[in-house]
Structure formats: C-alpha cells, structure tokens
C-alpha cells in the first residue's frame, strides 16, 4: 500500500480544510494538493505546498506589481522569451514542495541535484516499513554494451523469473534480518528478552537499496525544470524518470505557460555545437558532408544525424 493509514488520515484532514488567503493560488494545482500520485509499485509524489504562479514569473521580469493588466498572450510571449534566452531569475521566484516516497537507490541518484531543500525519513529514529521495489518484468534488461550506465535487451521467460525471485527473496531475507537485529515489537518492546537488540542506526545497514524511503523536497521552479530536463529525458534511468514524468503533470497544472515554454525550448529542443551548426549550414548549401570531413567525432556525428533525421551514411 503506497500510503499508511496514518498518512491517509492526515491527507483527508488536510484536504478537508480550506483557508482564505491573499496569495496567488492555482485552481488546477489546488485540485490535487496533498493527494498522492502513485509511482512504481509502492512509491508516490504529492504536492504539499507551493508559492507563486505564471504571473509571479512575469511580475519578477517586469519588476512591477500589476496583475491582470496584461493579456495572457503577452505573458506567454514574455515567458517564452525568458526561457529561450535562459533568463533564469524570474523562474526562481516560484517554489514548490513535494512529499516523495521512493526506493533508496533512486533517492541516491536524485540527491545529486543539490539545489533543493531536503528532509529525509530517519531510519536512525524510526523503523523502515517492509516495502521494497521489484521492477515490472518488462523493465528487466541486460547491461547495455554501448553505454556503461544503461540497459540493453529485455530479459524474458525463465531468466526474468529468476531475477524477480532473487530480488524479492533477498529483500525479504534482508528485512527479516533487520527485524531480528532490531528485536522490537510494535510497541517498542523486545521480541526476544534474552538479548537487547541492535541500535536502529546500525540495524538499517542490513537493508538493500530497493527498500523505500521518504522525504520532503522543496525547490524553485528554475531548478525543478533543470531536474526534469535531465530526469524526464528518455535516456534517464526508468525508475527516476517515472517520478519526473509524474512531476511534469504537476508543473503543467501549476504554471501552464512556463510548462509550454519548457517543452518548446528545453524538453523538445536540442543544443547543437558550433561545429555541428556549421555541418548543417554546409548541408543546407547543398554540400555533401560525411563524418570524416565534418570535424565531428564518430559519436557526435551519429548524434547529429539522429537529431536531424539524416542518413548517417551520407
């Protein structure tokens, strides 16, 4: 179950309350405020707070206090300009806070983005739940031969079942050992009075990286979009990409004008090197360019040809 009963009760109370405010609010985001959006098998994201909206971006760029005095098309044009020319400060005026439940190995990848405020569930203080991530069969794959940090062909049949059995069996044994080391029942009393058990901060080291942790993660819009540009990319690891894609929908609800600009100028756009740009210009001029004469490495050449849907052999 992605949410504990206590969390479900907390969310029900929070969603049952309304507050008057003079702050800007976004109805589309208010609709899902506090709600858990499922990710993977036991994970979720949920928006627990936010500050600002599209108008706050425009306001910061114009350094004015006027709201509602400009047409939406003008605001979209300005936000497009800011995104296109990478004027980042106005986007930093908006912030959002998420509650995220995620596998530990995903958290360790995620935490490399050092531009957020993070408070993680403490396994020194509390006991971790017996919840661990097991990939869906279609997400099991061999090591890629051309990419040291990617996946290759999907594993199927008996081989896939063997992987799933190993992952599930190892996690179950790890948690059984963790529980034995803790030697605590639900009330915190020793299960086996013949020995005192181990400190929580030590017992946790027996758990594997697919166990779930939780944190609160607060970030400004500019740095969130940078995170999403990397982690919602098709080349990102599937597990963290699943979280990024769920977060993209919350951004669409929160700042729809900035979201459209982000898709147009970041997510669905491309950066081309100076040499790559020269290759394109030469091709447009009618010159036949191949990799040896392009000035690009073989890898850069393949990437450029894939980008412009050209025949790499040309």
Catalytic residues: 231
What SS3 state is found at 94?
Answer: coil
- Quote helix, strand, coil % in the chain, to nearest 5: 50, 15, 40
- Report yes or no: 131 and 124 within 8 Å, Cβ to Cβ: no
Structural Rg of the chain based on CA atoms: 24
Here the tokens at position 187 are: 């009330």
- Report yes or no: 132 and 269 within 8 Å, Cβ to Cβ: no
Sheet strands (E) in the chain: 37-39, 43-51, 95-103, 117-120, 141-143, 151-154, 212-220
Nearest CA among 214, 223, 235 for reference residue 122: 214
Phi-psi region for residue 249, left (φ > 0), alpha (ψ -120 to 50) or beta?
A: alpha
d(CA 100, CA 38): 10
């Amino acid at each position: 179950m992605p949410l504990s009963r206590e969390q479900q009760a907390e969310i029900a109370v929070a969603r049952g309350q309304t507050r008057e405010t003079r702050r800007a609010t976004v109805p589309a985001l208010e609709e899902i405020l506090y709600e858990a959006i499922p990710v993977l098998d036991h994970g979720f994201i949920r928006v627990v707070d936010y500050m600002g909206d599209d108008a706050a971006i425009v306001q910061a760029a114009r350094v004015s206090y006027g709201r509602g005095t400009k047409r939406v098309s003008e605001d979209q044009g300005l936000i497009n300009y800011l995104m296109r020319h990478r004027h980042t400060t106005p986007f930093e005026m908006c912030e959002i806070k998420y509650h995220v439940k995620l596998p530990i190995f995903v958290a360790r990848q995620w935490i490399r983005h050092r531009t957020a405020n993070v408070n993680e569930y403490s396994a020194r203080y509390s006991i971790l739940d017996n919840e661990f991530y097991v990939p869906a069969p279609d997400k099991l794959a061999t090591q890629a031969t051309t990419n040291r940090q990617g996946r290759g062909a999907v594993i199927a049949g008996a081989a896939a079942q063997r992987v799933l059995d190993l992952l599930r069996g190892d996690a179950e044994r790890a948690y059984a050992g963790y529980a034995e080391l803790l030697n605590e029942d639900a009330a915190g009393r020793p299960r086996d009075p013949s020995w005192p058990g181990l400190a929580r901060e030590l017992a946790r080291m027996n758990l594997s990286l697919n166990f779930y942790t939780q944190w609160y993660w607060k970030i400004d819009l500019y740095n969130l979009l940078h995170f999403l540009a990397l982690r919602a990319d098709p080349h990102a690891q599937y597990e963290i990409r699943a979280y990024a894609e769920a977060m993209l929908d919350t951004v669409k609800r929160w700042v729809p004008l900035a979201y459209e600009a982000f898709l147009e100028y970041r997510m669905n756009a491309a950066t081309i090197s100076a040499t790559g740009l020269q290759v394109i210009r030469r091709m447009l001029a009618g010159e036949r360019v191949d990799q040896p004469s392009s000035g690009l490495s073989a890898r850069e050449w393949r990437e450029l040809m894939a980008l412009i849907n050209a025949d790499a052999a040309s």
